[in-house]
Structure formats: structure tokens, C-alpha cells
């Protein structure tokens, strides 16, 4: 791209202002009705949120369960707890800090445990918030590897742990992570399941605990080839090889595919107990950071030139709604689905939930109407108990169809705040803690009363 002309620069500035006004507008509408407890409401919400969004994303360290002994001792009776013991300092003690130049040694980091539910097996530590994008006031030493070449930690946005917690995974579940790359949530899910992932066939005969007959299955999907490759690297670096697919173990606990999540035919209907749909979205915080980066280098941010105020609504009504509809279809009755984004836009969050619920209602009404129409046209197709042995039995075209409905869960979490249908974690909450944005909504698929069981 050559040097921008004055005209291009003027258009860019106009678009930039429009973009900021659009983001700000999300907090004049439905989102500003949030019942935030931690935010000073004498100010407009955007005034606290905007500076918090501009700061670098604040990371947390997820200690890798599979790095420590527990997983590899799973065959022995003592190792039932997948938690890694010890502090981060202890877990990082083998790292040679002498070689890391500018890197400061790890100070005791704040244990994130107080924000997690008591039964949560994850071990997380907060890294301090960096004030500016150029500051390197805190760097972790590189992860250490164990004898199986697995790394001891992974860095992620602390807020992104909460959609995974909301999924409420249990041993024996068949789980779909529909849009998985680069893999932070997949890894959180796997760490949450920990030792329960040990394949039943792999349990040592000398174990005092009986072999598990219910096998957890995780289907990890990502359409983009390069991102899927990156995801595989993340999994290879953190997860034991015997859980991952290979030519010698095609039926491994974890399956990786590259299906299109907008296509209903990509996943078997009613096949999954749990589905995580972490949808592609407008990622406004990322856009703001990119704008800052490009403009400090006197460049125009290319993506902005393709942006319009209706971009968010378009993604929401197209890609995101299609993916969520696919996810609902693939979910078992009684199963749980978590829809999440890192978007600030109500179009991509609560409105997608509202749209899918309406769509399902519409489909139900259409199916009932269709059955009634067929019954009226051919009343004899209903089985009245007197079958004519000479006539072939008619297919049950007019049987009442199986209808479903979605129930929205309204659980409260230790960080974040409720929205109309879901939950939102924003960086100005908890005294500007810096986590998020993450929106998530937990849905359960139920049979609609009166439908065929």
C-alpha cells in the first residue's frame, strides 16, 4: 500500500470517528441497562470503558494439569485430583532466569482462585495489567517442558475461562468445541476435565479404582487451515499425545476437524451433551488496539476501510445466527450450549440469542402447521387402530413432530454483570481489572411440551 492521499486520509478519519461513535452507541442502548455494581454511574459508561479497552489485554496464567505428575500417575489410586500443587513460583522454579535478559523474575502473582467456583479444578494466576502497549514491565519466563515435552502454562484472558465454566462439563460427556482456534478455551476445557480423560482402555490393571466405562469425547473443530494448524501445535504442546488423534490412534479422545460451522450437515443432529460456540465476531478491543498500532506507525488500518456501521448487524444475522442454529441442532435434548463472543455489540450478543429463540419458535409453528395441513388433506393417514391388511402401511407423515425449545440460564458469576439474556465481562469492572470483553449465554435444549417424545 502506497502513501495515503489527503482524500484517503480524510475518509479514514471520518470512518474512524464513525466507528468510535458506533462502539459508544452500544452503551447508550440496551447494554447501558446493565445492573453494574462496580461501575461509577455518575459517569457515562463509555467514559470508564473506553480507556480500559485501550489498555493492553490483561493475561492470566493457566497452569497445565497435564504438565504435572497427576495425569501420568492416573493409573495409580492416589491421583484422583487433577490439580497442580504448589505456587506458580514453584512450578516455574526450573526456569533459568539468568538467560532471559530483560525479563524480570516472577514476583508472587495473585492467585485467581478467589474468583473461581470452589469446585473448579483450574489453577490460574493473574499477570499485572500493562499500562501501555510499549511497556514491557512484566514478562514471564518461557514455559518449562516436562519429560513428555509438555509446557507448564498457557497465557489467556482470564475472562475467557468463564464460558468454559458455564459449559459445566462432566466425565462421559460428548463435547463439541465448534470454532476452536487458537485453542485457549479448548485447553481450559481439557484442564477442567483433567484425569477423567484417561481412556478407559489405558487404565492399568493394577489400579484399585474400577475402569471407567464412560469415555469423555471432545470434538474440536476449526474451519481455517492455518488456524487449525496453530491449534494442533497448542494441543501438542500441552496435552498428552495419547489423547490426540494420530495415524496409529484414529479413535482418540480428542478429534480434530475442519468443518464449516454454518452448515447444518457438518455435525450429527442431537449428538452432543455440551457445545461451545465461541463465535467469530467484531472483536472491538482488538480493532482499537490495531488502530492504535497502525496509527502510531503512521499507517491506515486496512480493515477499517472495509468497516461500516452495519457490519456488526450483518455478522450477527448471518454467520453467527447460522452457527448457533447449527449448534442447537447438534445438541442432545437436555444438553447445554454456551454461545460466546468477545464483542461489545448487542447485535452479536443478546440479539443473536433472541433471534435463534424466535427462529426455533417459527420453525415449530411451521412444522405444526405442515402436519395439520397434511392431516386435513388426508385424515385417513392417522392410525385409527383398524389397519387394512391389504393396504401397505402409510408412513407416519402426520405424526406430531418433535419440537424443541431453548431455556436460557441466568446464573450469576463472580466477575462481570448480567445482560438481558447472558453475562458480560468488561475490562472496567472489578476496579478496572482489565479482563474481557467476553459475552456468554448458556442455553439448554428441551423437548417442547406436547411434542412427540
Ligand X SMILES: C[S@@+](CC[C@H](N)C(=O)[O-])C[C@H]1O[C@@H](n2cnc3c(N)ncnc32)[C@H](O)[C@@H]1O
In the bound state with ligand X, the residue whose beta carbon lies nearer, of 216 and 343, is: 343
Residue 346 CA: distances (Å) to CA of 23, 169, 219, 331, 429: 10, 27, 29, 25, 18
| Out of 19, 124, 175, 180, the residue judged to bind ligand X by CB under 6 A | 180
**Span interacting with ligand X, options 8-16, 125-133, 177-185, 240-248, rule CB under 6 A:** 177-185
When the beta carbons of 106 and 163 are compared against ligand X, the nearer one is 163
Spell out the alpha helix ranges (H) of 316-409: 321-330, 350-377
- The three grid cell numbers given for residue 288, joined into one nine-digit string: 482499537
Rounded to a whole number of angstroms, the minimum distance from the CB of residue 20 to ligand X is 23
Residue 281 is among the residues annotated as catalytic for this protein:
no
Q: How far is the CB of 224 from ligand X (least distance, A)?
A: 4
Q: How far is the CB of 234 from ligand X (least distance, A)?
A: 8
Question: Any contact of residue 222 with ligand X (CB under 6 A)?
Answer: yes
Rounded least distance, CB 160 to ligand X, Å:
6
Asked if 219 interacts with ligand X (CB under 6 A), we say no
Q: Which residues are part of a known binding site?
A: 222, 260, 278
Burial class (CB in 10 A: 0-12, 13-18, 19+), 411: exposed
- Sole window of 35-43, 44-52, 221-229, 421-429 interacting with ligand X (rule: CB under 6 A): 221-229
- Among residues 182, 202, 245, 418, the one that binds ligand X under rule CB under 6 A: 182
Among 179, 196, 343, 430, binds ligand X (CB under 6 A): 179
Question: 372-391 burial by CB neighbour count: b if 16+ within 10 A, else e?
Answer: eeeeeeeeeeeeeeeeeeee
The answer to the question of residue 257 lying near ligand X (CB under 6 A) is no
The smaller minimum CB distance to ligand X, of residues 74 and 337, is found at 337
Of the listed pieces 25-33, 47-55, 71-79, 260-268, which binds ligand X according to CB under 6 A?
260-268
3-state secondary structure of 406: strand
Closest CA to 399 of 380, 382, 376, 379: 382
Determine the interface stretch with ligand X among 19-27, 205-213, 255-263, 435-443 (rule: CB under 6 A): 255-263
> Closest approach of Cβ 423 to ligand X, in Å?
17
> Counting contacts by CB under 6 A, is residue 183 touching ligand X?
yes
Q: Kindly state whether residue 181 participates in binding ligand X, applying the rule CB under 6 A.
A: yes
Q: Are 54 and 292 in contact (CB under 8 A)?
A: yes
User: Does residue 81 contact residue 70 with C-beta atoms inside 8 Å?
Assistant: yes
CA distance 142 to 399: 62
Size of interface with ligand X, in residues (CB under 6 A): 18
Residue 304 DSSP symbol: H
By CB under 6 A, tell whether 278 contacts ligand X. Answer: yes
User: What are the CA-CA distances from residue 353 to residues 175, 255, 350, 412, 438 (Å)?
Assistant: 21, 28, 5, 18, 15
Binder among 199, 280, 401, 418 for ligand X (CB under 6 A): 280
Contact yes or no for 82/73 (Cβ under 8 A) = no
Q: Which residue in the set 95, 261, 321, 330 belongs to the binding site for ligand X (CB under 6 A)?
A: 261
Q: Is there a cis peptide before residue 268, judged by omega within 30 degrees of 0? A: no
Of 120, 281, 342, 441, the active-site residue reads 342
Cell numbers linked to 76: 495409580
Least CB distance to ligand X at residue 181 (A): 4
At closest approach, how far in Å is the CB of 285 from ligand X? 12
User: Is position 262 an interface residue for ligand X (rule: CB under 6 A)?
Assistant: yes
> CA 446: distance to chain centroid?
22
- Which of the ranges 75-83, 183-191, 329-337, 420-428 carries the binding residues for ligand X, by CB under 6 A? 183-191
The yes or no reply on residue 227 touching ligand X (CB under 6 A) is: yes
Instruction: Write out the DSSP string of 203-265.
Output: S-TT-SSPPP-S--EEEEE-S-HHHHHHHHHHHHHHS-GGGS--SS-TT-SEEEE---TT-GG
User: Which listed residue (173, 185, 238, 274) binds ligand X by CB under 6 A?
Assistant: 185
Near ligand X in 328-347, by CB under 6 A: none
**Window 7 to 66, contacts with ligand X (CB under 6 A):** none
Determine, following the binding rule CB under 6 A, whether residue 223 of this chain makes contact with ligand X.
yes
CA gap 286, 281 in Å, rounded: 11
Unique residue bearing C-alpha cell 458469576: 413
**Residues across the chain:** 453
Least CB distance to ligand X at residue 399 (A) = 34
Q: Which region, judged by CB under 6 A, interacts with ligand X, from 18-26, 52-60, 220-228, 348-356?
A: 220-228
Residues sharing a CB contact under 8 Å with residue 187, sequence separation 6 or more, in sequence order: 62, 64, 154, 156, 234, 235, 238, 239
Q: What is the DSSP letter of 440?
A: E
Annotated catalytic residues are 342
Q: What does the binding site for ligand X look like in residue numbers (CB under 6 A)?
A: 160, 179-185, 221-224, 227, 260-262, 278, 280
Amino acid at each position: 500500500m502506497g502513501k495515503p492521499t489527503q482524500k484517503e486520509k480524510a475518509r479514514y478519519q471520518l470512518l474512524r470517528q464513525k466507528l468510535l461513535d458506533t462502539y459508544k452507541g452500544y452503551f447508550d442502548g440496551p447494554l447501558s441497562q446493565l445492573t453494574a455494581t462496580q461501575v461509577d454511574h455518575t459517569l457515562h459508561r463509555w467514559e470508564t470503558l473506553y480507556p480500559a479497552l485501550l489498555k493492553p489485554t490483561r493475561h492470566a496464567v493457566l497452569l497445565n494439569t497435564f504438565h504435572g505428575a497427576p495425569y501420568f500417575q492416573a493409573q495409580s489410586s492416589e491421583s484422583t485430583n487433577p490439580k497442580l500443587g504448589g505456587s506458580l513460583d514453584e512450578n516455574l522454579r526450573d526456569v533459568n532466569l539468568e538467560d532471559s535478559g530483560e525479563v524480570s523474575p516472577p514476583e508472587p502473582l495473585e492467585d485467581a482462585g478467589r474468583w473461581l467456583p470452589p469446585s473448579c479444578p483450574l489453577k490460574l494466576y493473574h499477570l499485572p495489567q500493562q499500562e501501555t502497549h510499549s511497556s514491557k514491565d512484566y514478562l514471564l519466563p518461557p514455559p518449562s517442558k516436562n519429560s513428555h515435552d509438555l509446557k507448564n502454562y498457557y497465557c489467556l484472558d482470564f475472562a475467557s475461562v468463564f464460558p468454559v465454566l458455564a459449559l459445566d462439563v462432566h466425565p462421559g460427556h460428548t463435547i463439541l468445541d465448534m470454532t476452536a482456534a487458537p485453542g485457549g478455551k479448548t485447553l481450559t476445557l481439557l484442564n477442567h476435565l483433567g484425569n477423567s480423560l484417561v481412556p478407559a482402555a489405558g487404565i492399568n490393571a493394577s489400579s484399585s479404582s474400577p475402569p471407567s466405562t464412560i469415555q469423555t469425547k471432545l470434538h474440536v473443530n476449526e474451519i481455517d487451515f492455518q488456524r487449525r494448524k496453530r491449534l494442533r501445535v497448542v494441543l501438542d504442546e500441552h496435552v498428552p499425545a495419547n489423547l490426540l488423534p494420530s495415524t496409529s490412534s484414529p479413535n482418540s479422545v480428542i478429534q480434530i476437524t475442519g468443518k464449516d460451522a454454518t452448515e447444518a450437515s457438518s455435525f450429527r443432529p442431537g449428538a452432543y451433551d455440551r457445545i461451545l460456540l465461541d463465535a467469530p465476531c467484531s472483536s472491538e478491543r482488538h480493532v482499537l488496539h490495531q488502530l492504535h498500532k497502525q496509527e502510531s506507525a503512521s499507517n491506515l488500518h486496512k480493515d477499517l476501510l472495509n468497516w461500516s456501521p452495519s457490519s456488526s448487524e450483518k455478522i450477527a444475522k448471518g454467520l453467527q445466527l447460522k452457527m448457533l442454529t447449527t449448534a442447537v441442532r447438534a445438541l442432545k435434548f437436555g444438553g447445554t450450549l454456551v454461545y460466546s463472543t468477545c464483542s461489545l455489540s448487542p447485535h452479536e450478543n443478546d440479539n443473536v440469542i433472541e433471534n435463534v429463540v424466535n427462529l426455533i419458535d417459527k420453525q415449530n409453528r411451521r412444522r405444526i402447521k405442515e402436519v395439520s395441513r397434511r392431516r386435513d388433506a388426508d385424515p385417513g393417514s392417522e392410525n385409527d387402530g383398524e389397519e387394512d391388511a391389504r393396504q401397505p402401511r402409510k408412513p407416519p407423515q402426520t405424526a406430531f413432530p418433535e419440537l424443541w425449545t431453548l431455556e436460557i440460564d441466568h446464573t450469576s458469576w463472580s466477575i462481570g454483570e448480567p445482560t438481558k439474556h447472558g453475562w458480560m465481562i468488561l475490562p472496567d469492572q472489578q476496579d478496572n481489572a482489565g479482563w474481557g470483553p467476553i459475552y456468554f449465554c448458556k442455553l439448554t435444549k428441551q423437548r417442547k411440551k406436547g411434542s412427540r417424545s
